[in-house]
Structures are given as structure tokens and as C-alpha cells.
Amino acid sequence: MEVINIQEKFTRVEGYWNPHIVAELNGQQVKLARLKGEFVWHHHETEDELFYVLKGTLRMAFRDKEVSIGPGECIVVPRGVEHKPIADEEVEIMLFEPASTVNTGNLENERTRTNLQKI
């Protein structure tokens, strides 16, 4: 039962769009990631995803709208909903999602990350 300091954990997060695991509970994981630039359109078949922004402003594009999520704000992207995260400047996020969630969802490409590091 370690006390997890999120900012301290962020010093160990390497690269962009590369989620690192900081906690696991009830089959879910808490992940940290640093984002910059545009990600790819994707969806998750069976997983809802919570994005909580700690630093910067995350733009989340959906097929019919776009929203901005600032520090201290979060959004739940339900399973099946196509989305594309965009970070015009560096963004730090915390994710809550099932352990089965892959960052690129239904796609497998050069941005897909598996075997995530636990920090």
C-alpha cells in the first residue's frame, strides 16, 4: 500500500503517447501519459476510458464535435465511440481504464503500445 505521488511518477514517464501504469485495482489500471501532437482516430470495442488532465489542454475530437479538457477536468469516452486526442502543446494525463485497454484501440500500428511499464 504505497502512497503514489503522481508528479513524482511523471518524472519516470518516457516519451509521448506511451502510457505507464501506476496502479491496478478491480481489473482496472491507472496510467500516466505525456501527450504532444495528434494521435490516431480509434475506438475501444469493450472499454470505457477516463481521461483526467493534469497539465495543459487536451483536445478530444469526435466525429461530430470537439471538446477541450483543461487541468482538473476529465471526460469519459464510452466504448465504441471514435475519438482522436490532440495536444497542441504538451499535456499530462491520468487514465482510468480496464487493464485490457490498448492505447490505439481497434487499430494496431506503430503507435500501439503493449507490455506497458509499471512505474
Question: Is residue 3 at the binding interface for its own copies, with CB under 8 A as the rule?
Answer: yes
Q: φ and ψ at 37, to 5 degrees?
A: 95, -160
Cell numbers for 25, please give them.
485495482
- Tell whether residue 12 is a contact of its own copies (CB under 8 A): no
Binding its own copies (rule: CB under 8 A), the pick from 21, 75, 116, 119 is: 75
Triad 8, 98, 107: Cα angle to 5°: 100
Minimum distance of its own copies from residue 77's CB (angstroms): 7
| Residue 60 Cβ vs its own copies, minimum distance, rounded to whole Å | 8
Q: Which of 97, 103, 104, 105 binds its own copies (CB under 8 A)?
A: 97
Q: Which stretch binds its own copies (CB under 8 A): 12-20, 32-40, 90-98, 107-115?
A: 90-98
Which residue, 46 or 109, has its beta carbon nearer to its own copies?
46
**How far from the centroid of its chain's Cα atoms is residue 2's Cα?**
22
Residue closer to its own copies, measured from CB, 40 or 74:
74
Stretch that binds its own copies, among 13-21, 34-42, 75-83, 111-119 (CB under 8 A): 75-83
- Give CA 105 to chain center in angstroms: 11
Return all residues near 16 (Cβ < 8 A) that are at least 6 apart.
33, 34, 35, 36, 37
| Selection from 111, 107, 42 nearest residue 79 by Cα | 42
